[in-house]
Structure formats: C-alpha cells, structure tokens
Amino acid sequence: MSHTLPLPAFTHERVEVITGRRSGLFIAVALHSSVLGSALGGARLWTYPHWSDALGDALRLSAAMTLKNATAGLDAGGGKSVIGLEEGTVLDAERRRDAFLDLGDAVESFGGLYRTAEDVGSTMDDMAVVGERTAHVVGLPDAAGGSGEPAGPTSLGVYESLRAVLERTTGTGNVAGRRITISGLGQVGGRLAIRLSAEGAILTVTDVNPARRHLAGELGATWAEPGTEHLASSDVFVPAGIGGLLTDDVIDALDTRAVCGPANNPLANHAGADRLASRGILYAPDFVVNAGGVIYLDNEAKQRGTREEIMGQVAQIGDTVRRILADAEERGITPLAAAEELASERLRAGAPALAG
C-alpha cells in the first residue's frame, strides 16, 4: 500500500527510524531543531495505513513543535516521536510495555537533544516505562516524582485562546450563549467541553470513539456524527482530534466565524490558512493555542516557578493570541503567517525566552 499523504519537506537535524527490537514495531524519532535548546515533544501511539504515514506524521509534528516552543518563549527546540501500528493491530500489555522500552532506547540515543512526553495514544504510565531506559522524559506520574498529566494545562491554554478569539469576533470573551463545536473529546477536548458547558456555552460535539457520546448527554450538548460536525453553525469551531481535518472541502463547507483548537496540524495543507481567510473565518494557529502542555512540562522539568506560577504563564497564551491576531490584522496577513514570523524571529536570534 502506498502512503496516503506526501512526505513534508525535510528540514530536520536528525531522524531515527527503527524497528523496535522487543516489540517489532515501527518507531520514528524526529529532531527538527535544537537551536533554542533540548527539543521537547510527545510520543504518539497511533494506527497508520503505511509506515511512511507514521514517518510523515513525525516529521510534520516535530516541525510544528519547533514553532510551538519558539512562540511559547521556551528555551526548547522541537521534536516528536511516533510508534506506528499497522491497521488492525491490538497491543496487549506486554507488547505495549516493550514498545515504550524500545522508544526509551531510541530517545536515549539522542544524548539529551530530545525529551519526550505523552501524546495522543500514550499515557503517563507509558512515560514511566520510557523512563526505565532514559532520563530524557517528562510528564511522569506524580507518584514517580514527575509533573503529572499535561492535558489540564493544554486545555487552559485553549480556553484562554478561545476567549481571545471571541473578543476579536464578537467583542467579548464571555462564552455564555456562544455556539461552540468541539471535534474530538479526548483528554483536552473533553476537559474544554466540561468547562465551556459550565460557563453556559451551547455545545455541539463529536468524537470518532462512539463511547464518548455519553459526555454529550451529561453536558446537554448536541452530538454530531463524525464527519458532519463542521456543518453545524457555530461561533467557534474547535478541532481537538487528529490533524488534517481541515481539508479544502471541509473549509469550503465550514459554518463558523473562527477556528481555534488544540489539534496539531489541523490544516490539511498550509494554504488552508489563506482559504479560511478568504471566507472571513478567523484562524488561531494551533501551535500557539495548544502550547499549554509544553509550557507546563518544560518549566516543571526545569523547576522554573511553582505550579501556580507556571499555570499563570500558561494562561498568558491568550495574550499571545491577541498579539498575533492584532499583528495579522494590522499587516494584512494571516494569523498563521504572523505566528510563523514570530517563531522565525526567535529562532534566528537564538535568544532567551520572550517576555510575557
């Protein structure tokens, strides 16, 4: 079977692709940039139609992590790891453990230039297994002396970003009475849905896992069948699942005023940002919106402030979004272009962390 997506441009410092000696699984570790420091980016466990799709995902995600960490003001580069499963593969506990031991060996081979953490499909407990083979892992369970689960900080950053987007499109950041569609009810999307519901938002939600439908019932939200959620009229559309959701066809049919969500690489192609702008849909770049987790993990690992202070820094993501949206409007460019320029300036300078 040929891969379904073309491989992105190769701009990476180093990429390792292995077959895990214990698990027999495809594992890719992609270090995109260490210009600002040791790279930080999670480990994704996911099913792909072809091994090259898993590799392409690692390449795209690691490049996005460089942008994310730079715009977040972190002294951290960008990297990502992917454990790719063939379609139909179900891991038992032993093989899952073997997979993360194999990942730990791969991470260790980078000598500290790349630090991993949990991501889609992986957990804190998986990171504890990685930690048996390398010290270059963050987000370990509290019981193991780690910083715990990063989904809460990520969700907070998305919430503050969403309020900034609402201010720009409606004149107020109050979510009460606003129609918000959330595509993906995982660790981050689920937390966000609960908070928005409590504050009076009118929610339409969906997830590829039908078991998540119970959350819609608990929150009094409207459930949309997966693949139709973009047709629901909304003030903000929140992509919170796997990337690539916003294809040209989806953008053309999207019924919303703005897009703001935690999914990595939600645009199927870079030109999607211009396509959204041509339809008058405001787009808050994903790598700015979803940076709460890495801000939390990096500062916790480096012991830069108390948890309360670090969460305060996470909340400032909303201010970063406001600056980017204002800059984009003033210069007549897309918010994506403005955010990429902010990251590029930081990478060129190789400077200490940006002021808040």
The predicted-structure confidence for 34-64, as pLDDT tens digits, reads as follows: 999 999 999 999 999 999 999 999 999 999 9
Question: For 260-273, what is the mean pLDDT?
Answer: 95
Residue 170 has pLDDT above 90, yes or no: yes
Burial 2-36 (b: 16+ CB within 10 A, else e): eeebeebeeebbebbbeebeebebbbbbbbbbbbb
CA 164 – CA 258 distance, rounded (Å): 11
Token pair in block for residue 278: 């041509």
Residue 146 has pLDDT above 80, yes or no: no
Report the predicted TM-score, pTM, of the whole model to 2 decimal places: 0.87
How far is Cα of residue 117 from the mean position of the Cα atoms in its chain? Answer: 12
How far is Cα of residue 204 from the mean position of the Cα atoms in its chain? Answer: 21
Q: Per-residue confidence at 273, pLDDT binned at 50, 70, 90? A: very high
Which percentage of the chain shows pLDDT scores above 70? 95
Residue 80 designated active-site: yes
CA 172 – CA 162 distance, rounded (Å): 11
Q: Count the Cβ atoms, other than its own, within 10 Å of residue 109.
A: 14
Q: Per-residue confidence at 311, pLDDT binned at 50, 70, 90? A: very high
Q: Token match 């199927």: residue?
A: 268
CA 36 – CA 353 distance, rounded (Å): 9
Question: For 177-189, what is the mean pLDDT?
Answer: 96
Beta partners for 236?
A: 180
**Residue 212 DSSP one-character state:** G
Residue 102: closest CA among 136, 66, 134: 134
pLDDT at 340: 96
Mean pLDDT of the chain: 93
CA 147 – CA 300 distance, rounded (Å): 6
Selected catalytic residue, list 44, 60, 80, 163: 80
Residue 135 has pLDDT above 90, yes or no: yes
Token pair in block for residue 303: 């012991």
CA 137 – CA 129 distance, rounded (Å): 10
Q: Which residues contact 345 (CB under 8 A, 6 or more apart)?
A: none
Token pair in block for residue 237: 């559309």
pLDDT at 143: 66
Rama region for 246: left / alpha / beta (φ>0; ψ in -120 to 50; rest): beta
Question: For 149-156, what is the mean pLDDT?
Answer: 90
